[in-house]
Structure 1
Amino acid sequence: MSTDYQRAREALGARLRELRFTCPAGRLTGQQLAQRLGWQGSKVSKLENGKQTATPEDVRAWADATAQPEAYPELAARLAGFETEIRSWRRALANGFRPMHEGLTAEINRSSDIWVWEEAVVPGLLQTPEYARHVVQRYADLLEVTKGVEDAVRSRTQRQEWLYQPGHKLRVLVWEAALRSLICPPSVLVSQLDRLAGVIGMDTVELGVVPLSAPVKIVPANGFWILGDRLVVAEDWHAELWLDDADNLALYRKVWKTLRESAAYGPEAHTIVNAARRALKP
């Protein structure tokens, strides 16, 4: 998690603690506030110490429980501010790609189980170096980042050692569009598709492909990673979101499982990958 983001969480936590201390009817203990809210005492502690990300509902309930509802707009503004700006790509990439990639690599290495959905690109843990170079360069051009592209490519390549460690499992879902997107030259994509076909059947990889022709129960948008039972990393054009609260974890698990219902596996997935390859090189 970025330092800026963590500092913002801690600052919000300090403000929440201040509201608990200045309750008009008298200072509340953490346990007393938890009882008023119907929460576990540990949740109050985690929020105040920046160990958990508050939701808008959390800060509204906190303001009401401390009899200071007028504080809610300020709390909501703080929350919205660090949710959207602190994790912005421009801020995260101010020193190039390397620090951001190192942070994600550390989180991946802490995980034994990872669930991935990608609608537009082959996931980083399965990318060839040349394909990764083109993907990273596209982001660098868009965001005007001038350094660290090769560091990012090396980091992505080294990160793949995770796949060969005992006890690890990568469950990947990709939309067929990701197999056909010419984010790179056709020759590079051919090699990437060969790599993808090669991982089908690996003990540590479960690859599902959602065909373009398959009916889906949810809009197949916004790539994301679920790292164990503790963290979701989701991407948008302006920012990378790191979400660790129970509600968001549950939501993204539900999204992943819903998309999985439309996916093809095994020989069927292999057929879709090979069809995309043949379309590039008849």
Structure 2
Amino acid sequence: MTTDYQQAREALGARLRELRMEHSGGKLTGPQLARRLSWPHSKIYKLEGGKQTATREDLRLLAEGLGRPEVFGELAARLAGFETRIRSWRRQLAEGHQPVQQRWHAEIGRAAVIRAWEEAVIPGMLQTTDYARHVFQRYGALHGSLDDVEDAVRARARQQDWLSERGHRFRVLIWEAALRSLICPPSVLAIQLDRLSAMIGMDTVELGIIPFTASVKLAPANGFWILDDRLVAAEDWHAELWLDDGDSVALYTKVWATLRESAVYGTDAHNIINSARRALAAR
């Protein structure tokens, strides 16, 4: 799948190739430039082909190796522009929710292990169709997006096939608030909680819940997903962030691990879900 981030990385690579071909002393081949920098020549082609993300130091060395130290500022600015890539919801949802779900489906299809944290909503891969329908309706109204809720619900349901495939592991943390948030009618949430309870013990699902009463080292906020230590997807009201630079992935992995210290599992998780379920029945 081609993301905005990947397109920007490819554009930077094309600029690097352009600079190499325009070398003032005559066109440099990739191996020639690699020898100047004491790099394996494959690194030049990976950078120019958008297969590898350059560091600031890589760009500084490239600029100097090409005899063009003055272009370092331009290259560094390009890198800074896509290390944190913002995917506007307004732009993404111009064609509706279904295309967004399809793109996400393609991305998770590449993953073997997914770690997720959600503080206020049941994670999409564990949602019932009725619960998902209400979530899409609420966000569609917020952003004024194309009304394709039923198509989006079906696309999200197909993502759940990932859970039944051998070798996959969904390690998910949920704050107790997500079990009680009435983004849908109580009857829909009750069925959703039953579904969630049934997920505990699945071979491919590790479900942890952070109780309201738990001591936490970080505030339970900012939902995000980590795919195979290579990509983080984090949501805000205006946009979705897709981050694949090593520092960002490492930071979110540390946040996830820290939150996990406050989570309960198995019977204790069942008890929290059942408590939320009883609270609904008492309404």
- Paired position in structure 2 for 1:109: 109
In 1, Cα distance between equivalents of 2:178 and 2:267: 18
Q: What is the percentage of aligned positions where both structures have the same residue?
A: 66
| Range with greater deviation from structure 2 (11-20 or 164-173) | 11-20
Cα distance in structure 2, aligned partners of 1:241 and 1:54: 19
Q: Map 1:197-236 to 2 at 5 A.
A: 197-236=197-236
Deviation at 1:74, TM superposition (A): 3.0
Shift in Å, 1:144 = 1.5
- Which residue number corresponds to residue 88 of structure 2? 88
Q: Structure 1, residues 207-236: CA drift from partner, whole Å, max 9, x if none?
A: 001122222223332222222243322222
Cα deviation, residue 160, structure 1: 1.0
Do the aligned residues in 1 keep the contact of 2:217 with 2:259 (CA within 8 Å)? yes
Q: Secondary structure at the match of 1:117?
A: strand
Q: Deviations over 1:104-124 (max 9, x none)?
A: 112222222221111121111
After superposition, the CA RMSD in angstroms is: 2.9
Change (3 A) 1:23 1:261: farther
Partner in structure 2 of residue 180 of structure 1: 180
Residue segments in structure 2 that go unaligned for 5+ positions in a row: none
Aligned to 1:247: 247
Q: Does 1:267 align with 2:279?
A: no
d(CA) in 1 for partners of 2:61, 2:67: 10
- Counterpart of 2:18 in structure 1 is 18
Tell me, yes or no, if the aligned pair for 1:85 and 1:239 is still in contact at 8 Å.
no
- Which residue is 1:7 aligned to? 7
The gaps in structure 1 that reach 5 residues or longer are none
Superposed displacement of residue 63, structure 1:
4.5
Q: How does 1:23-42 map to 2 (within 5 A)?
A: 30=30, 42=42
Count of residue correspondences: 282
SS at match of 2:50: coil
Counterparts in 2 of 1:28 and 1:279: CA distance versus 1, 3 Å:
farther
Change (3 A) 1:22 1:210: farther
Report SS of the residue matched to 1:94: helix
1:59-81 CA-partner distances (Å, limit 9, x unpaired): 45655665645434433443454
Are the equivalent residues in 1 in contact too, given 2:97–2:146 (CA < 8 A)?
A: no
AA partner of residue 212 (structure 2): L
Q: TM-score, normalised by structure 1?
A: 0.85
Change (3 A) 1:36 1:163: same
Answer yes or no: is 1:124 the counterpart of 2:124. Answer: yes
| Larger Rg belongs to | 2
Q: Is the CA contact 2:95–2:146 (under 8 Å) kept in the aligned structure 1? A: no
- Residues of 1 paired with 2:93 and 2:57: CA distance? 31
8 Å Cα contact 1:173-1:207 kept in structure 2: yes
1:241–1:177 distance in 2 versus 1, CA, 3 Å:
same
Normalised by the size of structure 2, how large is the TM-score?
0.84
Tell me, yes or no, if the aligned pair for 2:232 and 2:244 is still in contact at 8 Å.
yes
My pick for the range that moved more, 26-35 or 191-200, is: 26-35
